[in-house]
Structure 1
Amino acid sequence: MKTNKVHPILGIGFGPANLSLAVALDELGRPDDAHFLERSPGFQWQDEQLLPGTDIQNNPFRDLVMQRNQDSPYTFIKYLASRGALTDYLHLNAKFPLRREYAGYLAWVAQSFATHVDYGQSVHTLALVEDSDGGELFCVRTHEGARYLAETVVVGTGRSPRIPAPFRTATATAAGVFHSTRYLSSIEALAARDIRVAVVGASQSAIEIVLDLLARPNVRQVTSIHRGIGFRLKDTSPYSRQVFLPEFVDYFHPLPSATRRRLRAELRSINYAACDQDVIDRLVGLQREYELTGSDRLRLAPFTEVTAVDTAPGGGHRLSVHDVNHLTRDTIDADIVVLATGFKDFGTGAHDERYHPLLEGLAHRLPLDDDGIPVVERDYSITLKASASAPRPLKVYLNGLCEASHGMGDAGALAMLSVRAADVTASLLHLHEDGRAPRRAAERVLQ
């Protein structure tokens, strides 16, 4: 499918980040300025991690819009009221909403923007093409054969899954090894098999997956592998959690790259490799129960790192591991391996990527800092370097990918959705007012 229609704003991905952007544009009377592409057949949010009893770990007032516009029809409170569920929710006296309930809220908002989204379109390239005015446009192509033109692109796909090096081999990428982003559908497809499962990681998602596995009758044994001492308690101090305030972005963004890396490492326990008290208590209780009954159904492997993955005798996977302190070696056999190992940041480290893979077609035009990482401005944009034939620079926005440049509140955190959408929207409209972009959708003939 080809078209010469030019979208003023084209959003890639339609999860919470770009959904919040759609809401912000709608409330400014500009809903038709933006169109979105989403690879899923319909709206979904964390479908692979909607596990029983899990919550969002976020105050529901910090939703798609509340911090920006308390009168909006798209708040979480309005969602509950529309379903006649507000009183019941308040009666729960819950600190955080269940993940499944919040997914319902996001889907409810997304219904209002159904005509602005092409679902079932998985983007594989983002490039630049010339138009008949001698300028440039973004050209987006999908695996389904569609092509889209745009004056401005907003990438809101979420970060790339982090796959540790030993699991990138041909053996490890075979059936039976998958990232947590594919957990639920993958594990439910194995319901008829008696399985041993290894879970790599010490995050909130890791402990939730361990608990879910232990509730499944076909799971014979769960081995929980982490480099540290075990599941640590998340730092939930109001002082520490200032990283999720917009003021912290203003403080963090101007810092030198090396200082930002140091600060992120110091604050890591606020959001990474750490868990909430309730899930830790649940797992400790189960661990004690198994100890009292002499069961080895739950095995904990602290201070352990996987160094290689091979095929185990009789099938499944044999993980070569070592103790990160004593350097002693051992093996762990499992039929299934779940990687609850998080996501990549922009950077030069072993677990980083210099930029999101979708930006590969723009790599020659990306402005880079001293470390070779794209320079992301405070408004979440990258201003592409001008070319000789098209001196007017274009902007691509990164909506929810910028933890390395904007701090921990950016990547994946629901807390920053509405304020980040306000920043991006203000920048987009400023471009429009300058007469550079975005303009109203128009038909153009490409040279």
Structure 2
Amino acid sequence: MKTIDFDLVGVGIGPFNLSIAALAAPKSELSTQFLERKPEFTWHPGLLLNHAKMQTSFLKDLVTAVDPTSPYSFLNYLVQKQKFYPFTARGDFMISRLEFSDYMAWVAKQLPNTQFDAGVSDVRFEGDHFVIQSNGQTLTSKHLVVGTGTQPVVPDCAKGKLTDNCFHAHEMMQRKPDLRGKRVVIIGGGQTGADIFQHIFAGDFGKPRQLDWVSRRANLEGLDESCFSDQFFMPDYVNQFYHLDKAQQAREVSRQKLTSDGITDDCLSTLYQALYHDKYVLQNPKWWSIQPHQELVGLETADELNQLTLKHGITNNIKALQADVVILCTGFKRVLAPCLENIADQLQLDELGRPLLNEDYAAFWKQPTDSKLFVVNSGTHNHGIIEPQLSLAAWRAATILNSVSDKLLYNNTNSSNIMDWDLHSSSSPQIVQNSNPRDIVS
């Protein structure tokens, strides 16, 4: 019988696979290796604005929720960086994205099971194991976990029209555009749009002549950070949510939108104070605007000038707007990793080509096999609003590692919950437990 190199290989080293790698590293009974095409760990480097903050507590790091004694915790990072006491004097559970990114890069450098400059070009499944091609090396693994991140979303009217003067926000800090004396339009009313508006307003990229923030949302909508909304981000809720049918799941995710896709109160308050001071105290001539209920429906570029067409969400009125620079804060989408192209036809996919996952984040195969293909950050269509969030990263990582080892490597039982969700229903579609793979029955 062929010797298989690893129990688990990870493709991509973003926050979620990094969490799995960190929790797997001290478990000698598991052989693991995680591969990343980039030369070092990075986390949305184009969005690491100076004052952008996390939306979750630093305690929800890569490991602490399931192993608070781990050497890869954020608290140990503070100790090792000799800034524990200055940090605690801050009196704030929320930290900057820059510091959390530095923490994750620190973890990535400590781990014995991560390999950078190791892009994965091909993955095949042969009988009872995966064969992974990575920069001239061939690895075999019983199981595979894919965490290759997301792709930026570009509005239909802007596709094929991106330029140095019209780009997606994920490139902001790499481009560091000189906006002095220019007319700038920001498209998108979420946290990213707010962060970029705030930094441009403060002159971090030079003082623009005109700054317009356009959003199809009805207002600048705050993040729902209440203690009761936080109950959505607990294992007990996720496990119950999983068993709802797809239509019910979609409705619930829609209702929960602002628990993950709003703007933090701190950001809104700071921004409002700055706007008030500029308009009513300094009484500056009008040089900025915030325009809700406006959707970008047209974009033309000519002679380095962007001509935008906006449609009002209530009145349907159409208006034109000119800009020297357009920044698209229009989010990200999740797609099947290109390296899985050769095995995609062996997986059960939904109507949008996304893999269907079981409760342990393993994809459903069309034919039975003991090998498992895990997919992290696959979108909300499987496990709900928590899927793209860092809140339950450690819990999910432990879930996957327990599934790989077929024993309880980590005590990952549901924590008690204030709420009685009672989401289980006899009419809900269930996963058949007596087959492998387990089929979805409608």
**TM-score of the alignment, normalized to the shorter chain, above 0.5:** yes
Q: Residue 383 of structure 1 aligns with which residue? A: 364
Of the three residues 32, 35, 45, the one matched with 1:34 is 32
Letter in 2 for 1:380: Y
Secondary structure at 2:209's aligned position in 1?
strand
Q: Residue 14 of structure 2 aligns with which residue? A: 15
Note if contact 1:310-1:319 (Cα within 8 Å) is conserved in structure 2.
yes
Q: Residue 348 of structure 1 aligns with which residue? A: none
Secondary structure at 1:111's aligned position in 2?
helix
Secondary structure at 2:8's aligned position in 1?
strand
| 2:117 is equivalent to residue 120 of structure 1 | yes
Deviations 1:134-155, CA, capped at 9 Å, x for gaps? x25434456x666554332211
Deviations 1:327-384, CA, capped at 9 Å, x for gaps? 1111122222222122225xxxxxxx6x455543322111145776532100001032
Note if contact 2:47-2:170 (Cα within 8 Å) is conserved in structure 1.
yes
Cα shift at 1:294: 3.9
Secondary structure at 1:374's aligned position in 2?
coil
Letter in 1 for 2:345: H
CA distance in 2 between partners of 1:76 and 1:332 (Å): 45
Superposition map of 1:236-315 within 5 A: 236-272=225-261, 274-292=262-280, 293-312=283-302, 314-315=303-304
> CA 1:358–1:320 in structure 2 vs 1: closer, same or farther (change >3 Å)?
farther
Cα shift at 1:230: 2.6
Of the three residues 362, 370, 374, the one matched with 1:397 is 374
| 2:158 is equivalent to residue 158 of structure 1 | no
Superposition RMSD in Å: 2.6
CA distance in 2 between partners of 1:294 and 1:335 (Å): 22
Note if contact 1:166-1:309 (Cα within 8 Å) is conserved in structure 2.
yes
Q: Residue 71 of structure 1 aligns with which residue? A: 69
Note if contact 1:159-1:356 (Cα within 8 Å) is conserved in structure 2.
no
Note if contact 2:148-2:337 (Cα within 8 Å) is conserved in structure 1.
no
Letter in 2 for 1:210: F
CA distance in 2 between partners of 1:129 and 1:234 (Å): 42
Q: Residue 90 of structure 2 aligns with which residue? A: 92
Letter in 1 for 2:152: P
Instruction: Decide which moves more: 76-85 or 361-370.
Output: 361-370
Cα shift at 1:322: 1.0
CA distance in 2 between partners of 1:117 and 1:286 (Å): 44
CA distance in 1 between partners of 2:94 and 2:226 (Å): 16
> CA 1:53–1:192 in structure 2 vs 1: closer, same or farther (change >3 Å)?
closer
CA distance in 1 between partners of 2:9 and 2:167 (Å): 31
Cα shift at 1:397: 0.6
TM-score by length of 1: 0.83
Letter in 2 for 1:165: D
Deviations 1:206-255, CA, capped at 9 Å, x for gaps? 10011111222253332111012231111111111211111111111111
CA distance in 2 between partners of 1:16 and 1:407 (Å): 18
Identity, % of aligned pairs?
A: 26
Q: Which has the higher contact order (CA 8 A, sep 6+)?
A: 1
| 2:391 is equivalent to residue 415 of structure 1 | yes
CA distance in 2 between partners of 1:241 and 1:140 (Å): 39
CA distance in 2 between partners of 1:193 and 1:361 (Å): 48
> CA 1:73–1:407 in structure 2 vs 1: closer, same or farther (change >3 Å)?
same
How many residues align? The count is 403
CA distance in 1 between partners of 2:51 and 2:143 (Å): 40
| 2:348 is equivalent to residue 367 of structure 1 | yes
Note if contact 1:381-1:397 (Cα within 8 Å) is conserved in structure 2.
yes
Note if contact 2:165-2:304 (Cα within 8 Å) is conserved in structure 1.
no
Deviations 1:14-34, CA, capped at 9 Å, x for gaps? 122111111211232246x22
Deviations 1:373-402, CA, capped at 9 Å, x for gaps? 53210000103222xxxx636421112224
TM-score by length of 2: 0.83
Q: Which sections of structure 2, spanning at least 5 residues, go unmatched?
A: 410-442
CA distance in 2 between partners of 1:372 and 1:47 (Å): 28
CA distance in 2 between partners of 1:224 and 1:145 (Å): 47
CA distance in 2 between partners of 1:229 and 1:278 (Å): 20
Deviations 1:291-313, CA, capped at 9 Å, x for gaps? 3434333221211011121014x
